[in-house]
Structure 1
Amino acid sequence: MDTSPTATVPGYPMPRAAGCPFDPPPAVEELRAAPLAKVRIWDGSTPWLITRHADQRALLNDPRVSIDDRRPGFPHVTAHRAGRAHSTPRMVTNTDAPDHTRLRRMVTGPFLVKRVEAMRPAVQGIVDRVIDDMLAGPRPADLLTALALPVPSLVICALLGVPYRDHAFFHHNSSRALDRSLPPEEAEAAGQALIGYLDRLLREKLADPADDTLSDLGARVTAGEMSHDEAVHMGVALLIAGHETTATMISLGTLALLRDPGRLAALRERSEDPKAVAGAVEELLRYLTIVDSALRRVALADIEIGGATIRAGDGLLFDLAAANRDPDAFTGDPAALDPDRPARHHQAFGYGPHQCLGQSLARLELQVVYGTLYRRIPTLRLAVPFEEIEFLPDGITYGVRALPVTW
């Protein structure tokens, strides 16, 4: 493989094909034919792009691969992120063990599978009430704002102890903080607004604790187990991840099903079969892979993989969508949506020690929504032509600006 400076190296990220909004960029799919490939990112550096399912699993679980964004060679997503790396507090999203282990342990409890499953009746109640409100409201409705955002926002607010009345504020600012198309100063201002908000809320919890995750973080600050800044940034990360990604998946998954009436009808008929709904959720997670910014790491040592040598200091990009369409990992045609496909081993939540902390909660919310929405509104359909749906390619997650529906 020619990786010399004079070699032709494709730019990354790559555009999706016109008319194929659910598929990874064709150029990324083509690169999966080679074991590893170099790509060129915004600063001219050429990290490795990892596209194969097995290679991603091997490297994401390798202690010689680091998520520490302060290390030389780390492939930052933007110049803004690169400039902030040394001033950003250490969090679960930018630390290796043992710091990562310590910080993750602080918030694992609420997201354990058994504790999340115990929330199912409460989540079902939230989904039913939100659907009631949508049915009582005007038609057409924007499914994103009428259902997809309120459901996970209500759930994460209750779990964290964040007032739901502030949901418009934190949704607006989290969207802007993650928008790669914004000028750096605007994204920074949105991020700082969230930090200020969580800082004030944490101080309130320190003075008057309640039965919620922010109060638990406050107790750990008081006990000296973590710093105040660590707790604030942990709260920001949980708040953003807890509503933004699930809301995107609800709306984009619904759009994919509305484009495939046969699959939607089959899911509706089996909506009271928990295993069938859970299987459909896993396949939709695999098929859509809404994380639209590759996972980013840097090699700490030379690593031999796929017949190539990754050198210490080389940046690594993990394109999850490409791995989730890998024909060596998934039966049948991975480019097709098939809710009967065994897909639980997808990597929509990443893999390894930094795999998404809230994946059990996301699965529960998606199962309840997908198992309820299409059964309760069997005539749900798009209110505009599919071609008029605007997709958002510039965030950390890939979704739609709005999803007009009627029934």
Structure 2
Amino acid sequence: MTLDRTPAIGDTPSCVRAERVALAVGVLALLAAVGLGWRDKALFAERYLVVFFFFLSASLGALFFVLVHHVTRAGWSVVVRRLAENVAGVLPLFVLLYLPIALLAGDLYPWAGHAFAEHNPELAAHKASYLNLPFFLTRAFVFLLIWAALGTFFRRLSVRADTGDGSAMAARLRAASPIGLILFGLSITYASFDWLMSLEPAWYSTIFGVTTFAGAVIAGLAVVILLTLRLRSTGALEGVVTAEHDQDLGKLLFGFVVFWTYVAFSEFMLQWYANMPEETVYYQSRMGAAWQSWSVALALGHFVIPFFFLLSRHIKRRPVLLGIGAVWILAAHLLHLYWIVLPALHPEGASLGVLDLLCLLGVGGLFGATVIRLSRGASLVPVRDPFLSESLAFENQ
């Protein structure tokens, strides 16, 4: 089975307009967020961190999808791989978007201030060699540059293959993907330790990075699903991506929802059973009166509801229902990030407001504009991939 056309969106007026609108919304919303948060820099930094990591994790999840596609020599996913490459291709943008966090790290992280050292002198001294701003920021930009390099490398070679030797490029990408997976696994783990777990420097969990990884993959899959459905509805991928691919994307999403739950519950159960104060303090603040409703909503929204919703084969094959599931999962992922960050800094409780919306629109607008630009810049499908015919003819058994 072969393509009878090259799927692309090009410079159609609607795409150009969508990119410009997204860019304008992003820039204006970010400027408004900075203006609103100027008087309380710590508040702006914490809300910006949540939104920054939300969109970053979606790009990282898409990058993981691309890496696994190559390392496993998958055939079914060829027709959706370019969409994942475009989402992963946004990663260089996050080097710039991290600058507000870098500038406000001293206001955001408790270990960066004098009060923490005064109240916890032993702990502060013990962790000072790792948790200090120069080393912290150095690690941050190393992680970001690794991700930017991986996202750019895999997309660039894939696009180059559209006009060259597809088999040779596919072999190069397969050879590079195991190294990429190792770099990805180590960097996302330590980034989660640094950016999220260190908000509570007295608490630690060796499995925290795995939970973060699972959330990133869920977010990446959800974004790829939404892009696939949107482009198919416009006719750009009609007859190329089918219900068979929808079902497999839905199965992956369902599987990682279960994996996230397994890891998160195992962490909770083991720390609850051991009942060690330095570990249980993390859950005590989140199960208290101020955050109990958030914890219940997270359990229901991130596992119970999507588990039963995505369990059905028929739902995964229906675009509207699968799209609803993907949007729901993204909302649950955002809730999870708020659940990590806000109780760490406000155990007495906190509420969301206009600043959160502005940060979401700001980073989201820039993220969306970049995805559209990358999608316009090349075919939506790797047209010379050696496994393309297999992907076009793919059917679930």
Higher relative contact order (CA 8 A, sep 6+): 2
Q: TM-score, normalised by structure 1?
A: 0.27
Q: TM-score, normalised by structure 2?
A: 0.27
Bigger strand fraction = 1
Bigger helix fraction = 2
